[in-house]
Amino acid sequence: MDRDVIDAAWRGLRQAAGTPASPELLESAIAVGLLQNAAGAAASLRASTDEGAAEVAHKHAVALADRGWTGDAELIAQLDGSVAGLRRLRVELDAVGDALADERGGYLDLTDGMVWPTSVLEDGDVDDIDPEEEPDRFLFVDGWGRRDGWSDMVDFAGGLDDATAREALLAAVQGKGAFRRFQAALDRHERHRAAWRVFSSERRSGRARAWLLEQGIEPLL
């Protein structure tokens, strides 16, 4: 996928955040695989009375169902309105994903959706925040470590049509130092970096969404 096309779709989603989305915007997001990231745009179009908007919103749901990654079914349920009775919170999925990928985890502030890495709090870089003193305010994000991130690299590399890049990236993720070598290999195959950014973000956002719903929290679309 062309880097400029991916960047344009991502930029469009950011610029449209909090405003009514256009069918063309969601179409462009679907085309590059930005399905979790387009949740807000899809919700906006589902609420529209325009037939074309409804058609594209349905296409987004079909793409999620066909892909079937962690968090995709959960997003479909949210968009269908079949998730109910949960605490609704505006939270950055990327931040939750970062905490899940950190072995030390983090803390989710249930008042404002802010995610605090455990390392930041324990190193004393933040004053006046102590999750242990306010257990009803903070939810611990039990980090799983980097195993899912490693699986993402393997899956991404294995799905490339470019045989040279595929072999180089698969070789890079073997053994210690896999994350560093993978990035170095991407530097040598730069045209795949934008696609990796989409792949990685979508996987992390989906895991974060699924985890939040398991905790009884519905992330606002």
Q: Can you give the residue range of the structural domain that contains 176?
A: 86-221
In the chain, the number of structural domains is: 2
Is the pLDDT reported for residue 177 higher than 90?
A: yes
Same-domain check for residues 61 and 113:
no
Same-domain check for residues 192 and 136:
yes
Is residue 93 within 8 Å of residue 219, measured between CB atoms?
A: yes
Rounded to an integer, the average pLDDT of 151-166 is 97
Is the pLDDT reported for residue 125 higher than 80?
A: no
Asked whether residue 165 is assigned to any structural domain, the reply reads: yes
Same-domain check for residues 91 and 186:
yes
Asked whether residue 110 is assigned to any structural domain, the reply reads: yes
Asked whether residue 100 is assigned to any structural domain, the reply reads: yes
Same-domain check for residues 135 and 104:
yes
Same-domain check for residues 45 and 135:
no
Asked whether residue 79 is assigned to any structural domain, the reply reads: no
Task: Using the 3D structure, point to which of 12, 36, 67 is the last residue of a domain.
Answer: 67
Same-domain check for residues 137 and 216:
yes
pLDDT of residue 113: 96
Question: Exposed, middle or buried by CB within 10 Å (0-12, 13-18, 19+), for 128?
Answer: exposed
Is the pLDDT reported for residue 127 higher than 90?
A: no
Same-domain check for residues 104 and 171:
yes
Orientation angle between helical segments 23-32 and 3-16, nearest 10 degrees: 140
pLDDT of residue 17: 86
pLDDT tens per residue across span 29-66: 999 999 999 999 999 999 888 888 999 999 999 999 99
Model-level pTM?
0.93
